[in-house]
Amino acid sequence: MARQSRPLKTAFWDDDKVCHLSRDARLTLAGLITKMADDEGRFIATPVAVSGSLFPYDDLPPARVKKWLGEIEAEGMVCVYRVNGGTYGALTGWAKHQKPPHPTESTIPPPPEERS
């Protein structure tokens, strides 16, 4: 099922945290927001999954993509976590910035701080 397009707010490019990221980490974050994240802001956060989804025609070493994810995590914009052997990510502040009109429940487990 195709997901509706998710716009990137113009304020994204002026955000202090975003501006501290390298150019490639900014591009990765934009892709996580607009393409990879589900309606609850979660995504598979392995370097191979991110690279395959966002940069399918680039031959990127997994360590490079892991570095970009680390930059984004260090700025507090994503939480990378493991559940049952899987590596996932959750965009912090997702509910504040994204309001899907007909949200679909995530199939990805929530981060530890959201589990009860």
The pLDDT of residue 4: 58
- 9 within a domain of the structure (yes/no): no
User: In this predicted model, what pLDDT tens digit does every residue of 67-110 receive, in sequence order?
Assistant: 999 999 999 999 999 999 999 999 998 877 677 777 789 999 99
Q: Which domain holds residue 25?
A: 15-104
- 4 within a domain of the structure (yes/no): no
pTM of the model: 0.90
Number of domains present in the structure of the chain = 1
- 92 within a domain of the structure (yes/no): yes
Q: What is the CATH number of the domain that holds 59?
A: 1.10.10.10
User: In this predicted model, what pLDDT tens digit does every residue of 22-58 receive, in sequence order?
Assistant: 999 999 999 999 999 999 999 999 999 999 999 999 9
Cα separation, 55 vs 77, in Å, equals 20
- 6 within a domain of the structure (yes/no): no
- 36 within a domain of the structure (yes/no): yes
- 44 within a domain of the structure (yes/no): yes
- 81 within a domain of the structure (yes/no): yes
DSSP code string of 37-103: --TTSEEE--HHHHHHHH-TTS---HHHHHHHHHHHHHTTSEEEEEETTEEEEEETTHHHH---SSP
Cα separation, 2 vs 112, in Å, equals 28
Contacts of 92 (CB under 8 A, 6+ apart): 76, 77, 78, 79
- 109 within a domain of the structure (yes/no): no
User: In this predicted model, what pLDDT tens digit does every residue of 4-22 receive, in sequence order?
Assistant: 567 788 999 999 999 999 9
